[in-house]
Amino acid sequence: MNDDSMYIILVGCGRVGAQLATMLSQEGHAVVVVDDDPDSFNRLSGNFSGSMVQGNGIDEDVLRGAGIERADAVVTATNGDNTNIMVAQIAQDIYEVGRVVARCYDPVRSKAYEMLGLKTICPTTVGAEMLRETIVAEDAE
């Protein structure tokens, strides 16, 4: 643990969530991963040093069990935009977590929630832009 270490709750242990959990725990942050499918925790690498909570992230009892009342950050990366946005709003508006970000596949909703003050990452837009850059970059050939 270094001085900048945070208590971070990650909701959704899919490919992205599992990779992020390992990155953050290796950096010295205290990480709790929440997923309603216990098999999903198999995606965590052997280098993950945080803890796991089985349950649905939109259930406040589950979030409290994961320690949301003392969380510095909440990241939502389940496969469902609705769940990601709802959990992020609960974290930001009810528990006043300082750093919250939601994954949102739908570019239109991603922009709309950004305007409403919720940080989102839209893999659709990011993916399209990265593929475009690879193809149209002047040094591509």
| Residue ranges that bind a second copy, judged by CB under 8 A | 6, 8, 15-16, 19-20, 23-24, 27, 29, 73, 75, 77, 98-99, 101, 103, 105-107, 119, 121, 123-132, 134-136, 140-141
User: Given the complex with a second copy, which of 53 and 120 has the nearer CB atom?
Assistant: 120
8 A C-beta contact, residue 106 and residue 93? no
User: Given the complex with a second copy, which of 6 and 86 has the nearer CB atom?
Assistant: 6
What Cα–Cα distance (Å) separates residue 77 from each residue in 85, 98, 122, 124?
Answer: 10, 18, 11, 14
Report which of 58, 37, 137, 51 is spatially closest to residue 102, judged by C-alpha positions: 58
State the nearest-atom distance from the C-beta of 40 to a second copy, in Å: 14
- With both helix axes pointing from N to C terminus, report the angle between 123-136 and 107-115 in degrees, rounded to the nearest 10: 120
State the nearest-atom distance from the C-beta of 65 to a second copy, in Å: 21
User: Given the complex with a second copy, which of 98 and 117 has the nearer CB atom?
Assistant: 98
State the nearest-atom distance from the C-beta of 49 to a second copy, in Å: 16
State the nearest-atom distance from the C-beta of 54 to a second copy, in Å: 22
User: Given the complex with a second copy, which of 37 and 129 has the nearer CB atom?
Assistant: 129
Q: Which residues of 15-52 are buried (b: 16+ CB within 10 A; e: fewer)?
A: ebbbebbbebbeeebbbbbbbbeeebbebbeeebebeb
